């Protein structure tokens, strides 16, 4: 799927083994999942980088395994955001920037997102601004605030939005409402609701690359309300010549690709210029079975 002129859609990971035989072909090698993933999506969250920086050789392999137009969205390492809390993190930031430079050189770099610690509140805005201003302007960034003080509908929120807008930095929209609206007793959903934040949702774009992380239920039908709510907003961004990044999460990531496909299909109803979503292995198997049944007659 290569629609860089429109928008980017993907999942939090590319290596879910549950996708083998459903999203990916059942003969897929576990070591070749990125190549399979990139045939169907044009971006992925780089959440693993939050925990540890990969060697540059690994990053180069990722670039080789993903196709033209594919973009990685690395998450700032927790050593910078949570351990150093954006202070005296020059060394850690330099190491991270080398990853971004490598991806940029290979034309595989999307928006890098900085998730602030839950306790990092509006009183820390000067620290945040100093850190962001020191970053190179060559890359795209988004900031994910989590503390409630950033969402006061008042001075704190206005100051944050103005600062990000002035720097050309997007604000991550983290929407976990579908997850918390679910009444499912699914153990994965119960566990996810115990640890996912309920960040207030602001359906606005501060810069050129709106960044949406939508956390849904494992029951895909239960997500339809939220899909229909977000599709017109995403399409509006596209029509405004912005390039949104949209990531679909589920408590059981086996469902995330199907969640993404449902959203894309709803978008295509509004914007037929978007390409059709590439087929999953389960679709091809179903078509083959139907043809075999027809041949019997």
CATH number for the domain harbouring residue 210: 3.20.20.410
Give the Cα separation of 125 and 185 in Å (integer): 39
State the pLDDT at residue 28: 79
| Residue 266, domain member (yes or no) | yes
Residue 99 domain-assigned (yes or no): yes
pLDDT at residue 218, rounded to an integer: 97
Residue 3 lies in a domain: no
Residues of the chain with pLDDT under 50: 1-4, 285-297
Q: Structural domain of residue 221, as residue ranges?
A: 8-296
| pLDDT score for 287 | 40
Q: Are 123 and 149 in contact (CB under 8 A)?
A: yes
- What's the pLDDT tens digit per position in 216-256? 999 999 999 999 999 999 999 999 999 999 999 999 999 99
Would 244 be classed as within a structural domain? yes
Kindly state whether residue 116 falls inside one of the protein's structural domains.
Answer: yes
φ and ψ of 212, to 5 deg: -115, 125
- What pLDDT is stored for residue 284 in this prediction? 54
Give residue 27's pLDDT. Answer: 81
* Number of domains observed in the structure of the chain: 1
Rounded CA separation 172/197 (Å): 13
- Flag whether 288 is in a domain: yes
Contact status, residue 197 vs residue 118, Cβ threshold 8 Å:
yes
């Amino acid at each position: 799927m290569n629609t860089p002129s429109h928008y980017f859609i993907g999942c939090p990971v590319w290596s879910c083994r549950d996708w083998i035989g459903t999203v990916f072909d059942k003969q897929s090698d576990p070591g070749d999942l990125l190549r399979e993933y990139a045939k169907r999506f044009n971006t992925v969250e780089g959440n693993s980088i939050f925990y540890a920086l990969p060697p540059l050789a690994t990053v180069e392999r990722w670039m080789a395994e993903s196709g033209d137009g594919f973009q990685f969205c690395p998450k700032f390492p927790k050593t910078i955001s949570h351990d150093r809390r954006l202070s005296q993190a020059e060394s850690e930031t330099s190491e991270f920037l080398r990853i971004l430079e490598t991806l940029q050189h290979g034309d595989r770099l999307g928006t890098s997102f900085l998730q602030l610690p839950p306790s990092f509140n509006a009183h820390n805005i000067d620290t945040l601004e100093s850190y962001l201003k020191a970053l190179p302007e060559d890359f795209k960034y988004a900031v994910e605030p989590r503390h409630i003080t950033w969402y006061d509908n008042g001075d704190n929120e206005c100051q944050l939005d103005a600062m990000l807008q002035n720097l050309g930095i997007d604000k991550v929209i983290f929407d976990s409402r579908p997850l918390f609206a679910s009444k499912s007793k699914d153990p994965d959903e119960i566990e996810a609701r115990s640890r996912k934040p309920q960040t207030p949702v602001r359906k606005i774009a501060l810069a050129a690359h709106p960044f949406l992380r939508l956390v849904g239920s494992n029951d895909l039908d239960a997500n339809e309300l939220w899909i229909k709510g977000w599709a017109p907003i995403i399409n509006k961004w596209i029509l405004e010549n912005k390039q949104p990044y949209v990531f679909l999460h589920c408590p059981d990531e086996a469902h995330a690709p199907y969640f993404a496909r449902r959203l894309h299909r709803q978008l295509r109803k509004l914007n037929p210029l978007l390409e059709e979503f590439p087929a999953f292995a389960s679709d091809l198997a179903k078509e083959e079975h139907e043809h075999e049944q027809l041949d019997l007659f």
